[in-house]
Amino acid sequence: MPGVSARGLSLEERRQLAVNLTRVLSLYRSILDAYIIEFFTDNLWGTLPCSWQEALDGLNPPQLATQLLGMPGEGEVVRYRSVWPLTLLALKSTAYALAFTRTPKFQAPSEFRENPSQSSRLKAPFRKHVRPKKQHEIRRLGEVRRCLGCRWCLGARGLKPGHLSRFMSLGLGLKVKSIEGDQRLVERAQHLDQELLQTLGKEEKRNPQMVQMHSHRSPHHVAQWVDPRTLCEEVLLPLETSPQGEARLLLTGLHACGDLSVTLLRHFSSCPEVVALASVGCCYMKLSDPGGYPLSQWVATLPGYELSYRLREGACHALEEYAERLQRAGPGLRTHCYRAALETVIRHVQPKLRRPGVQGIPRVHELKIEEYVQRGLQRVGLDPQLPLNLAALRAHQAQENRVVAFFSLALLLAPLVETLILLDRLLFLQEQGFHSELLPIFSPELSPRNLVLVATKRPLGQAFSVLETEDAAAL
Ligand SMILES: C[S@@+](CC[C@H](N)C(=O)[O-])C[C@H]1O[C@@H](n2cnc3c(N)ncnc32)[C@H](O)[C@@H]1O
Over 90: is that where the pLDDT of 86 sits? Answer: yes
Q: Mean of the pLDDT values across residues 299-312?
A: 97
Q: Whole-angstrom Cα distance, residue 95 to residue 22? A: 12
| Shortest-distance atom of ligand 1 to CA 224 | 21
From ligand 1's centre to the CA of 449, what distance in Å? 14
Q: Is the pTM of this model over 0.75?
A: yes
Over 90: is that where the pLDDT of 453 sits? Answer: yes
| Shortest-distance atom of ligand 1 to CA 164 | 6
Q: Which residue would you say has higher pLDDT here, 210 or 56?
A: 56
Which of 141, 183, 227, 257 for mutating ligand 1's site (highest number of atoms within 8 Å of CB)?
Answer: 257
Domains along the sequence of the chain with CATH: 115-296+431-474 (3.40.50.150)
Q: Is 226 in the pocket of ligand 1 (CB under 6 A)?
A: yes
Q: Is 127 in the pocket of ligand 1 (CB under 6 A)?
A: no
Q: What is the predicted pLDDT for the residue at 475?
A: 31
User: 114-118, 155-159, 303-307, 329-333: which range is least confident on average?
Assistant: 155-159
Please tell me the residue having the least CA distance from ligand 1 atom 12.
256
Q: What is the predicted pLDDT for the residue at 158?
A: 47
Q: What is the predicted pLDDT for the residue at 339?
A: 97
User: 63-72, 237-246, 386-395: which range is least confident on average?
Assistant: 237-246
The length of the chain is 475
Query: At 473, is the pLDDT very low, low, confident or very high (cuts 50, 70, 90)?
Result: very low
From ligand 1's centre to the CA of 227, what distance in Å? 13
Q: Is 143 in the pocket of ligand 1 (CB under 6 A)?
A: no
Q: Is 223 in the pocket of ligand 1 (CB under 6 A)?
A: no
Q: What is the predicted pLDDT for the residue at 215?
A: 58
From ligand 1's centre to the CA of 436, what distance in Å? 23
Q: Mean of the pLDDT values across residues 320-328?
A: 95
Q: What is the predicted pLDDT for the residue at 161?
A: 80
Q: Is 130 in the pocket of ligand 1 (CB under 6 A)?
A: no
Over 80: is that where the pLDDT of 67 sits? Answer: yes
Over 90: is that where the pLDDT of 397 sits? Answer: yes
From ligand 1's centre to the CA of 162, what distance in Å? 10
Query: At 226, is the pLDDT very low, low, confident or very high (cuts 50, 70, 90)?
Result: confident
Which of 180, 230, 287, 288 for mutating ligand 1's site (highest number of atoms within 8 Å of CB)?
Answer: 180
| Shortest-distance atom of ligand 1 to CA 157 | 12
From ligand 1's centre to the CA of 262, what distance in Å? 13
Over 80: is that where the pLDDT of 328 sits? Answer: yes
Query: At 359, is the pLDDT very low, low, confident or very high (cuts 50, 70, 90)?
Result: confident
Dihedral over Cα of 231, 287, 439, 299: its sign:
negative
Q: Is 257 in the pocket of ligand 1 (CB under 6 A)?
A: yes
Q: Is 181 in the pocket of ligand 1 (CB under 6 A)?
A: yes
Q: What is the predicted pLDDT for the residue at 105?
A: 81
Q: Is 159 in the pocket of ligand 1 (CB under 6 A)?
A: yes
From ligand 1's centre to the CA of 215, what distance in Å? 28
| Shortest-distance atom of ligand 1 to CA 256 | 10
Q: What is the predicted pLDDT for the residue at 335?
A: 96
93-147, pLDDT tens digit by residue? 999 999 999 988 876 778 898 898 999 999 999 999 999 999 999 999 988 888 8
265-274, pLDDT tens digit by residue? 999 999 888 8
| Shortest-distance atom of ligand 1 to CA 182 | 25
Q: Is 180 in the pocket of ligand 1 (CB under 6 A)?
A: yes
| Shortest-distance atom of ligand 1 to CA 263 | 19
Q: What is the predicted pLDDT for the residue at 474?
A: 37
Q: Mean of the pLDDT values across residues 363-370?
A: 94
Average pLDDT over the chain, rounded to whole?
Answer: 89
Query: At 319, is the pLDDT very low, low, confident or very high (cuts 50, 70, 90)?
Result: very high
